[in-house]
Amino acid sequence: MYVAVKGGERAIRNAHRLLADKRRGPRNLPDITLEQIASQLALSVDRIMAEGSLYDRDLAALAMKQARGDLIEAIFLVRAYRTTAPRFGFSEPIDTSKMSIERRVSATFKDLPGGQLLGSTFDYTHRLLDPTLQGAEIEQAARADVTDEDRPMPRVTDLLAHEELIEGDGEAEEGAEVGDLTREPLSFPAERDLRLQTLARGDEGFLLGLGYSTQRGYSRTHPFVGEIRVGMVEVEIEIPELGFTVSIGEIQVTECQMVTQFQGSAKAPPQFTRGYGLVFGQGERKAMAMSLVDRALRAREFGEDVVAPAQDEEFVLSHSDNVQSTGFVEHLKLPHYVDFQAELDLVRRMRREYEDRTADEGKEAAE
């Protein structure tokens, strides 16, 4: 006699035990420490913080270890933790012009006040696998002393603004509330604050593809990297009881200001416009892609025709979150046999009708 499959509970328990075993890997190898992950796989940790929207290196490293290095799974772990954390307040806007700079490049000016500072970068490395990294203790990498640059480094966009060649920073009106899509559901059309928040949390790969598409002509904006800067900024919070702001610490961020074209209109003289990208940690690729997509999404504001995917606000914002997309794509592996049974029935019925019909036609043709 047929007996329905049972024991889901035990199967799940066993699967999770196996997962824990695989995560640990061969026992003759040392267990990887969170400190090692946070320091030696720092860019993965940065991405987890950025898309997990939680600035906490230790938790991001823990999530990475728990997720066996699967970044989207780690981002998901961090998000699920973040959503339960109580909210004590909101920080003041960070001031990136006061950043203590680790890296700063501009593609628009050969030299500029404060100069260019390469910092640590993959740029200009020869992408040749480095055998010296194979054995951990063989070759100690040369120590490099890093001193944060203290000389003033005004933002390139501020320099251009003196001549009014570029639009100003998007100043919010006095008392305007900044939206938060983690507290209010997104509705359309969405303003730039919510768009930027969505992009900052958005999947790097998705935004990279969209940003790339704008370069290939799907909403071309003639972008120039005005500036990319990476460094530490202070986070300040206003304490209502005290009536002034206090610093609660520093965070590392990457900012990209993309300078883009605008022809001007009947009302406004020609002027450069901007796309903006900002992410936690060092994440240049993401910040750049974000700035391209931000600019493309401003089509409505500049009266540009919405013709390309990157300009389509609802399309971009609804599909950029990898926790959402991975959940829904992967849910297809859940049982669907009830729906499938309904479809089977319909297809069988329609095939019978089709066969009856063709049989009838065959008979008629014979007659």
Partner 1 sequence: MNETAAIDAKDAAPVYNFAYLDEQTKRMIRRALLKAVAIPGYQVPFASREMPMPYGWGTGGVQVTASVLGPDDVLKVIDQGADDTTNAVAIRGFFEKTARVATTTVTEEATVIQTRHRIPETRLGANQILVYQVPIPEPLRYLEPREVETRKMHGLAEYGLMHVKLYEDIAKHGHIAATYAYPVNVNGRYVMDPSPIPKFDNPKMDDCEALQLFGAGREKRIYAIPPHTSVVSLDFEDHPFKVQEFSEPCALCGSRGVYLDEVILDDRGGRMFVCSDTDYCERHRPEDGTAPVAVWEEER
The two tokens of residue 194 are 């919510």
- Which residues, at least 6 apart from 178, have a Cβ–Cβ distance to it below 8 Å? 90, 172, 193
Report in angstroms how near the CB of residue 175 gets to partner 1 at its nearest.
22
Cβ-based nearer residue to partner 1, 164 or 180: 180
Contact 237, 89 (CB under 8 A): yes
Residues within window 300-359 making contact with partner 1, judged by CB under 8 A: 314, 318, 323-324, 326-331, 334-339, 341-346, 349-350, 353
Among 183, 216, 267, 363, interactor with partner 1 by CB under 8 A: 183
**Dihedrals φ, ψ of 249, to 5°?**
140, -175
**Those residues with Cβ within 8 angstroms of residue 245's Cβ, 6 or more apart along the chain or in another chain:** 92, 236, 237, 238, 239
Contact positions with partner 1 (CB under 8 A) in 122-181: 181
Partners of 244 in beta bridges: 239
CB 79 within 8 A of CB 59: no
Which residues lie below 8 Å from residue 73, measured CB to CB, with a gap of 6+?
Answer: 63, 67
CB of 258 to partner 1, least distance (A): 27
Instruction: Candidates 8, 131, 135, 303: give the one binding partner 1 (CB under 8 A).
Output: 8
In the complex, the smallest distance separating the C-beta of residue 349 from partner 1, rounded to whole angstroms, is 7
Q: Positive or negative, the Cα torsion across 316, 317, 323, 325?
A: negative
162 vs 183, beta carbon nearer partner 1:
183
Query: How far apart (Å, rounded) are the C-alpha atoms in residues 293 and 24?
Result: 39
Contact with partner 1 (CB under 8 A) among 113, 115, 189, 270: 189
Among residue numbers 30 through 59, which ones bind partner 1 (CB under 8 A)? none
Q: Please, which of residues 67-106 interact with partner 1 by CB under 8 A?
A: 76, 79-80, 82-84, 86
Binding site for partner 1 (CB under 8 A): 1-2, 4-9, 11-12, 76, 79-80, 82-84, 86, 181-189, 314, 318, 323-324, 326-331, 334-339, 341-346, 349-350, 353
